[in-house]
Structure 1
Amino acid sequence: MNDENILTSQRIRVRITKDYHQEPVISRLVSEYGLTVNIKAAFLGQDAISDGWFDLDLQGNENQIENGLNYLQELKLEVWDEKRIGTW
């Protein structure tokens, strides 16, 4: 069986800095990287002064998830996976 056909999921927490409040960061994970994104929890203030965060469940094949995580790293956003965070 081809690895591209095996779906997996990964739970992450990502900090969205105020510089990216107006950018479609999560939307791009879907449209450009083919991921299914389920928002489990979030905090993003309307004031756009402080950073926000999202707890996300990413679903896709391993390559899609890896590429999506690389995209977040390229933006220099802080990303934690469930191994580093523990139980949410």
Structure 2
Amino acid sequence: MTDNILTNKRIRLRIPKDYHQEPVISRLVSEYGLTVNIAAAILGANAVGDGWFDLDLQGTDAQIQSGLKYLQELELEVWDESKVADW
């Protein structure tokens, strides 16, 4: 059964300063069952401004798609690794 096969997806995520108090990445783990590795991050001094995160997501295809839908519903900018050449 292929539904339970784990897969990996790398994304780049921009979290605007308005979302700094929201547990966006934590929810990917707790609500969508994903394993999230923060491969890189850029935050402004004192967390002022937007945050940029390179995330490695691991889960089933369904979990990853649900997690990405959640990020889209928050209207966050998400870049798929297949569309970004210089990672």
The 5 A counterparts of 1:8-87 are 8-87=7-86
Partner letter of residue 86 of structure 2?
T
Identity of aligned residues (%): 72
Matched residues in 1 for 2:27 and 2:38: separation? 14
The CA deviation at 1:86 is 1.4
Partner letter of residue 41 of structure 2?
A
Q: Report the TM-score, using the length of structure 1 for normalisation.
A: 0.93
The CA deviation at 1:84 is 1.2
Partner letter of residue 32 of structure 2?
Y
Matched residues in 1 for 2:86 and 2:61: separation? 22
Where in structure 2 are there 5+ consecutive unaligned residues?
none
Matched residues in 2 for 1:14 and 1:6: separation? 24
The CA deviation at 1:49 is 3.2
Q: Report the TM-score, using the length of structure 2 for normalisation.
A: 0.94
RMSD value, Cα: 1.1
Matched residues in 1 for 2:63 and 2:14: separation? 20
DSSP 3-state at the match of 1:55: strand
Partner letter of residue 71 of structure 1?
Y
User: Aligned residue pairs: how many?
Assistant: 87
Where in structure 1 are there 5+ consecutive unaligned residues?
none
